[in-house]
Structure 1
Amino acid sequence: MSNTPTLFPKGLTKALSLKQPYAWLIANGYLLVDDRTWGTQYRGPILIHASKGLYEVYYDYLKSNTDIPLPDKDKLEYGGVVGIANLVLCCLPGDLPKNISRQQRAHFGGVHQEYFGFLFEQARPVALMPCRGKLGIFEINIDELLAAPPAAQAELF
């Protein structure tokens, strides 16, 4: 996978930070909905940022109970952008399209009826682009991120 500018919008781009394995699942199209306690009016391209955290119980559950080809814990990427998707809807659980299966929404536990489901489409993974995450939907200057040296090279400087 290459980080070519044609994959991304220009300039400031919205981003959402998630713990692993959520970031990997969304970037790779296995999870279409992420539940949040808050909603957003934003719709459009959004970078999927993997925080430095791992939801270990959920990871272990997925490995034991699904056939999703999750990478090993030490192979998951942390601390940067790992994908891009289109955020197409934010709504309460009952307002999601009926064709969204429970597996595409949540593989673990229940869905709180007062949480907001963020529905993603056209997700695709990208090579890790290290950067800091933030709470909520935040902006990343994608031009600066694409111009930065690859992570392995950056460690040499």
Structure 2
Amino acid sequence: MKALSLLQPWASLIAIGAKKIETRSWATKYRGPLAIHASAKFGKHEKATCGLPGFKQTLIVHRLMRESKTQYGLYFYEMPLGSIIAICNLVDVIPVEDISGLTTKERAFGDYSPGRYAWVLEDVRPLDKPVPAKGKLGLWEWAGDAG
């Protein structure tokens, strides 16, 4: 099965159905089943993104992030890393300039800069348990079982 690696929180946003379009700088002719892989990296930029409007409330509601009750307001992240976390269908890839009617959250969850591509995802099915896997750049073949 083809797989696509994404950084957190974007991989989990797809897995929970909050993000239905993945934006990329490149297109593909591939259409069909796609495994969503959460990359092992979860750096400062990605953690800062989790605190942005739309991200924070969505991640907390879905128990992917929680705020501590300390004076420092620390966050604890519950997002899987280095694993396949969902299976979906890639149904279309279109230039972002051809997209209309995006919700505010969908627009916030992607990079809709001119020249990029919108990968339209449907039938997202989160896995009951993340399946450890080493990701790769681009579309790659995952030989695992989504059971």
The interval holding the TM-score normalised by the smaller chain is 0.7 to 0.9
CA gap 1:88/1:102 in 2 versus in 1, 3 angstroms: farther
Q: Does structure 1 conserve the Cα–Cα contact (< 8 Å) formed by 2:84 and 2:131? A: yes
15, 20, 25: which is aligned to 1:32?
Answer: 20
Aligned length: 129
CA drift at 1:131? 0.8
Q: Answer 1 or 2: which has greater helix percent.
A: 1
- Structure 1: runs of 5+ lacking an equivalent: 1-12, 147-157
TM-score (norm 1): 0.74
Alignment partner of 2:17: what SS?
Answer: coil
Name the structure 2 match of 1:76.
Answer: 79
CA drift at 1:100? 3.6
108, 114, 122: which is aligned to 1:106?
Answer: 108
TM-score (norm 2): 0.78
The alignment-based identity, stated in percent, is 33
Q: Which runs of 4+ in 1 moved over 6 A?
A: none
Name the structure 2 match of 1:6.
Answer: none
- Counterpart residue type for residue 80 of structure 1: S
In 2, distance between residues paired with 1:107 and 1:80? 21
In 2, distance between residues paired with 1:117 and 1:26? 13
- Structure 2: runs of 5+ lacking an equivalent: 66-75
**Residue 90 in structure 1 maps to residue 97 in structure 2:** no
Render the CA deviation track for 1:95-143: whole Å, top value 9, x for unaligned: 23x44424224347x6211011111111121110001000000001124
Q: Does structure 2 conserve the Cα–Cα contact (< 8 Å) formed by 1:83 and 1:125? A: yes
| C-alpha RMSD of the superposition | 1.9
